[in-house]
Structure 1
Amino acid sequence: MAAITGTSISLPAPSRLLQQNQASGMRSVSLSIHRKSFPSLGLQATPLRFCVSCAAKTETVEKVCEIVKKQLALPADSSVTGDSTFTDLGADSLDTVEIVMGLEEEFGITVEEENAQSITTVNDAAELIDKLVEKRGA
């Protein structure tokens, strides 16, 4: 259970929070916390929303964006962000394979076929890369 004191929120260990979502393959946990009303001050209760997310490192996302732009021959001024999907950027299945191969070469990793098929966004790729690089270093 979450506890609120002033502006801080204390939560149980992240592994306990994430445990419920592991079966569904989700990588984030959201919970809503409701504050009490303070009628004497004229303040109404407003819900707070707290979200824990396992995000990729910023530098990994930026590097993946560069590689995607290069592999898809996108103009330098095109907008590629972590939320960009390969299909929205005009990639077909062959382009996606080439992107994965470029990522493998750049980061010195090997992406298994089942993992490669689950990559649809730049963030997906960056998160997988961080995981594989961490695993390789261990």
Structure 2
Amino acid sequence: MAAYSANSLSFSTIYTQSRQFNQATGRQSSLKPFSLCARGSTFQSLRASPQRFRVHCAAKPETVQKVCEIVKKQLALSDDTPVSPESKFASLGADSLDTVEIVMGLEEEFGISVEEESSQSITTVQEAADMIEKLVEKKSG
């Protein structure tokens, strides 16, 4: 068993069941059971894969909103196209050039400079907002 913690959040991954057969799909599943404990509340036997369960520091709502606006502008999306923190650039129709242009728009708007390595790892609005918060904090600190 491995345990992880971050301030008031901790969770344990139990490795006793490495693969389970999913009768609905007829395939093996690599999902592992784990326990989640946050400030004394425990949620037993949750199942998640690394792709579906993420813990991250949420950026300020105004930062997320501004990123949504920039993404809509750069991709020429209509006002009724929903863009949320979970929105992936690729699912909104962005290719690699569009992603570069989004990052350039974010740099200009927030007065930051994003390293090429960091810009290539950004795939969602939330990831972009979180990166902006870190860079703005680093710049002012």
Specify the TM-score bucket, using the shorter chain as the normaliser.
0.5 to 0.7
Match of 1:98 among 96, 101, 123: 101
Deviation string for 1:44-95 (max 9, x for gaps)? Answer: xx7497x964111111110000000000000011100000000000000110
Residue 130 of structure 1 aligns with which residue?
133
- One-letter amino acid of the structure 2 residue matched with residue 110 of structure 1: S
> Structure 1: which 4+ aligned runs deviate by more than 4 Å?
15-18
> Of the candidates 7, 15, 18, which is equivalent to residue 14 of structure 1?
7
Kindly tell me: are residues 82 and 90 of structure 1, through their superposed partners in 2, closer, same or farther at Cα, counting changes over 3 Å? same
Q: Which has the higher helix share?
A: 1
Q: 1:76 to 1:114 in 2, by over 3 A?
A: same
Root-mean-square deviation (CA, aligned residues, Å) is 2.7
Aligned residue pairs, count: 103
Structure 1: distance between partners of 2:136 and 2:8:
21
Bigger Rg over Cα: 1
Q: Following the alignment from structure 2 to structure 1, what is the Cα–Cα distance between the partners of residues 133 and 77?
A: 24
1:132–1:31 distance in 2 versus 1, CA, 3 Å = farther
Q: State the partner residue of 1:56.
A: 59
Q: What one-letter code is carried by the residue in structure 1 that aligns with 2:84? A: T
Kindly indicate whether the alpha-carbon contact (under 8 Å) linking 2:75 and 2:98 is maintained by their aligned counterparts in 1: yes
Identity of aligned residues (%): 63
Partner of 1:119: 122
Aligned to 1:39: none
CA distance in 2 between partners of 1:48 and 1:57 (Å): 31
**Distance in 2, Cα, partners of 1:121 & 1:81:** 9
Q: Structure 2: any 5+ residue segments left out of the alignment?
A: 12-33, 38-42, 47-53
Equivalent residue number for residue 82 of structure 1: 85
Corresponding residue SS for 1:82? coil
What stretches of structure 1 of length at least 5 have no aligned partner? 1-11, 19-29, 34-45
